[in-house]
Amino acid sequence: MADRLFIFDTTLRDGEQVPGCQLNTVEKIQVAKQLETLGVDVIEAGFPVSSPGDFNSVIEISKAVTWPVICALTRAVQKDIDVAAEALKYAKHKRIHTGIGTSDPHIRYKFNSTREEIIERAVAAVKYARRYVDDVEFYAEDAGRTDNRYLAQVIEAVIKAGATVVNIPDTTGYCLPEEYGAKIRYLMENVDGIHKAVISTHCHNDLGMATANTMSGVLAGARQVEVTINGIGERAGNTSLEEIAMIVKCHHDINIETNINTQKIYPTSRMVSSLMNMPVQPNKAIVGRNAFAHSSGIHQDGVLKNVQTYEIIDPKDVGIDDNAIVLTARSGRAALKHRLSVLGIEMEQPKLDKVYEDFLKLADKKKDITDDDILLLAGADRSLNHHIKLEYLQVTSGVGVRSVASLGLNISGEHFEAAATGNGPVDAAIKAVKQIIKRQMTLKEFTIQAISKGSDDVGKVHMQVEYDGQMYYGFGANTDIIAASVEAYIDCINKFKH
Ligand code: KIV
Ligand code: ZN
């Protein structure tokens, strides 16, 4: 019989730490329910002591989700553990994830402590967490750079103290696959009582080795993997769930299985990308736009003769269905509702009516409505709470002329108008916004992305604006890319703290 590999999804904790990717509680619930449908075993729902928003999200996710274990992160600090236990009170299956840095740089510079004292703190935290829950996971932060003999002592001590899962994070993404696998094997062979706990991998992608390291850990005996959808996460990200799920599915030879319903992978990837405004790179394994696109003549010829020549995964196995019904201006509410539900979004009638109305407007402008368009429409009410709204925008641009923009803003019910010239239409429009919003703000990053194909496509714009020493992230989507750019700029301003 195949060995079971547990999938611990940390999209809503490690993934959500990415600047600009923060979700509100409603969006987190939507992602959590989709993760449940996908079949993950554990959802790390947040770090409750870090903010009231995280605390509340853990509570609401605990109420909304039935099957997966809900996990809350803490430091090895009693207050954190108290708050996590409180946030988990509605979870049907709950886990506290506590831990401390174990590498010499962490012990010396972060804690100004000693190896012995760190073991004492780790043991105390695990014992304290066990007073609240039966399922306690311990993380040895920066285990990737921790001396193996010392790491084995820490892990042995926390298992004795009651840890049910031990997490061996390669926090900095430093390890080589062989080295990380050897570390897990060393623990398997040298920790007394190791079989009383599940060993978990948690790899970061700083050197592009997160997936390889995770698989190396699994081959050495780890039976839980900590992963995120689309591999999102701080810096270069975490191991991506879809890659591990498909590696395990494709390689029957390793005799390991997960509970993942792989056909839900693509819709989940689209949902997370859309809600977090985080584009997926086109050549991303499994879920990138080009992941199954054969472009060279030799490959196309081979695939046409027999797909097995160049395809190791049937795109349908990950939920990509080229024959899916295409939505157009003639599609009814039922077709839209069905597509939304395939994408993991259920909505009440009034919201569905509003999305359908917006859908018809968009379908008038473009021929085929894609899943990305639908996800955008479903999330369009994100700007409803904005106190600054774009009322109208007119721009002239062309070759050999200076661009002119005039626009109107509604600021908390009051109307303002301005006009400006600029070095191109976006520059002109932003200068006009700045005439109304007189703040010292600097545009730091500006990315325009057409979603898929066709000149009628919706353009997505991501912006980063610096104001008062802080960075703000904004997003806009429109078939008119100048309007999308202004929307993204205004989205940033709406987030200013004062
Ligand atoms: O990367 C890491 O070490 C972590 C821990 C907090 C689990 O995310
Ligand atoms: Zn991490």
287, part of any domain: no
In this structure, the answer to whether residues 434 and 488 fall within a common structural domain is: yes
452: pLDDT confidence band, cut at 50, 70 and 90? low
In this structure, the answer to whether residues 259 and 332 fall within a common structural domain is: no
Measured from the Cα of 204, ligand 1's closest atom is: 1
In this structure, the answer to whether residues 257 and 143 fall within a common structural domain is: yes
pLDDT of residue 66: 97
> What's the 106 CA to ligand 2 centre distance in angstroms?
15
On whether the CB atoms of residues 159 and 197 are closer than 8 A, the answer is yes
Range 58-73 average pLDDT:
97
In this structure, the answer to whether residues 167 and 310 fall within a common structural domain is: no
> What's the 234 CA to ligand 2 centre distance in angstroms?
8
**Domain range for residue 301?**
292-321
In this structure, the answer to whether residues 10 and 114 fall within a common structural domain is: yes
> Of 119, 107, 65, 117, which Cα lies nearest the Cα of 88?
65
Range 175-197 average pLDDT:
98
Residues, CB within 5 angstroms of ligand 2 (ion): 14
Helix or strand (DSSP H, E) at 166: strand 165-170
pLDDT of residue 370: 78
461: pLDDT confidence band, cut at 50, 70 and 90? confident
CATH of the domain at 25: 3.20.20.70
* Closest residue CA from atom 7 of ligand 1: 139
Range 98-111 average pLDDT:
97
On whether the CB atoms of residues 209 and 176 are closer than 8 A, the answer is yes
> What's the 141 CA to ligand 1 centre distance in angstroms?
6
Relative to the alpha carbon of 170, which ligand is closest? 1
Kindly state if the Cβ of 13 falls inside 6 Å of ligand 1: no
Name which of 129-133, 478-482, 485-489 the model is least confident about: 478-482
Single residue among 385, 402, 431 that ends a domain in this structure: 385
254 φ/ψ angles, rounded to the nearest 5 degrees:
-90, -5
Measured from the Cα of 10, ligand 1's closest atom is: 8
| Segment 220-239, tens digit of pLDDT | 999 999 999 999 998 999 99
Range 247-263 average pLDDT:
97
Kindly state if the Cβ of 80 falls inside 6 Å of ligand 1: no
294: pLDDT confidence band, cut at 50, 70 and 90? low
Handedness of CA 125, 127, 128, 131 (dihedral sign): positive
486, part of any domain: yes
SS3 440: coil
pLDDT of residue 323: 56
State the Cα–Cα distance between residues 51 and 29, nearest whole angstrom.
Answer: 17
pTM over 0.85: no
Amino acid at residue number 135: D
Kindly state if the Cβ of 202 falls inside 6 Å of ligand 1: yes
Single residue among 333, 366, 385 that ends a domain in this structure: 385
121: pLDDT confidence band, cut at 50, 70 and 90? very high
225, part of any domain: yes
Asked if the model's pLDDT at residue 451 lies above 80, the reply is no
In this structure, the answer to whether residues 241 and 347 fall within a common structural domain is: no
255, part of any domain: yes
Name which of 19-33, 202-216, 365-379 the model is least confident about: 365-379
Count of alpha carbons within 13 Å of 403, Cβ hemisphere only? Answer: 19
* Closest residue CA from atom 2 of ligand 1: 171
> What's the 14 CA to ligand 2 centre distance in angstroms?
6
Report the b/e string of 20-29 with b at 16+ CB within 10 A: bbebebebbb
Kindly state if the Cβ of 171 falls inside 6 Å of ligand 1: yes
Q: Mean of the per-residue pLDDT values for the chain?
A: 91
Measured from the Cα of 141, ligand 1's closest atom is: 3
| Segment 302-355, tens digit of pLDDT | 767 777 777 789 999 999 876 566 788 888 888 888 888 877 788 888 889 989
pLDDT of residue 256: 98
